[in-house]
Structure 1
């Protein structure tokens, strides 16, 4: 299941759904939150924009690539858009697999691809009321390289 939404999500409900829909040995989840500091700068809010249709297609492709690598029984990917405050949940990735190693790897793979390949645009605001677009980080690209064998 893939969802792009403005509404918050319940970690417990998403975890329970993964358990109910599969008979597996492992459920791994990741939840990303809005940080108060990014690259040494204070952050007061984060606005995420996307292009409907294109974003969901890109997310589906990322999940499809993960399914080609690992035996994923269930996958939930939720990404929020709109204005978010400090500590708000941004992203949820939940993976259900027979074994923990593949569940961990699939979850990490999806997050690494989300950070570099998903069409989201992030604008941070600081306590002085200034806003700025967030550029991609070299560390995110480096994390992605391990999946392609570079």
Structure 2
């Protein structure tokens, strides 16, 4: 009986442990246009402290919204209030059926810095309207270099 309780408690604690991880990796397909944008940014800013994380499509605490955008792309949904932002990403398991919940990652920014995240498995629905997503200024300047602004991928 004690082993069963321990096993149940371990399973319940697993999401808490994963949310405390030092980094979180994307499982999304790489868009060639976004990959080119990512490489141009890293060419322009070769000393970015999160260079390796951006290339590995990984987010880490301390990243700016620009660095997260380069690592993971446009968020599915974004909430913004004062100096706080929450970005929501949804990753679907290609092996799971359509009726299975997605992995949802919610990233929390304070004063333009990624401070924490939460990862859950559930279906995505929204109760409040999305705030308009603004492309970070560094990204806009890279898009301008390639001959004009385009919509986000």
TM-score > 0.5 by shorter chain: no
TM value normalised by structure 1: 0.28
More strand by share: 1
Larger Rg: 2
TM-score, with length taken from structure 2: 0.28
